[in-house]
Amino acid sequence: MQKVTSAAAILGGSLLVGLLGLGWIVNKTANELKSYERSVTVKGLAESEVTANVAIWPIQFTVASNNLEQLYADVESNTQKISAFLKQNGIQEDEVTLSPPTIVDKLAQQYGSNGRAEFRYNANQRVTVYSSDINTVRVAQTKLSELGKQGVVLSGDMYDSRTEYLYTELNTIKPQMVEQATQNAREVAEKFAADSNSRLGKIKQASQGQFSISDRDQNNPHIKNVRVVSTVTYYLVD
């Protein structure tokens, strides 16, 4: 009987120790899981100023005449003047493309109107420069008045005739900018953690925002501002 009592006592003690150990493990695990619930989400910004590497420059002119044959001759003459002007100012021949001229017969568009246009035919022609030499293009643009002195009537509204500047080398600066945005986010998170008497843990989740490229200002569209925002969530630990 005494042996049975001793065995029961040993078994009971073992169970008690096991339950205490299990309780400690459960409590420790619960505390760790609870600590993982504490986190902070921050955003990191990276910006870079770059110069465009492609210029698309449309040059549009208009000619008018009552003689269709003369109209085409004038279009060809003006096109040659523009081509010569571009060549003299450093624009390569393979950087220049011509669009088919648009011819309008105003007489056919009057639809019974009693008014009579001074010139029956009107032609619009566009010469487009596609170049990676930004400086050469910008210098040539300042000399457009030379074409006016040769009788070339430049036309087009502000949207159609404006030069478009592109930056196509984004992949070369992406890694550096992502690193900068992530570092910026970490600095913000560390400040938040310090203010809450905590330490910054591992990254819980991170996402990279889209890169945006915009003109730095209206007067310098060839200078671009590249921007990206990264969102990072960090664990907070005591």
In this prediction, residue 1 carries a pLDDT of 52
What long-range pairs does 192-195 form, CB within 8 A, spacing at least 24?
192/40, 192/42, 193/40, 193/234, 193/236
In this prediction, residue 133 carries a pLDDT of 96
Each residue of 61-109: pLDDT tens digit? 999 999 999 999 999 999 999 999 999 999 999 999 999 999 999 887 7
Amino acid identity, residue 83?
S
Domain ranges of the chain: 1-37, 39-53+167-238, 54-166
**The model's pTM:** 0.75
Q: Is CATH 3.30.110.170 correct for 39-53+167-238?
A: yes
In this prediction, residue 152 carries a pLDDT of 94
pLDDT at position 158 over 70: no
In this prediction, residue 238 carries a pLDDT of 77
Q: Is CATH 3.30.70.2970 correct for 54-166?
A: yes
Each residue of 25-49: pLDDT tens digit? 544 444 454 445 688 899 999 999 9
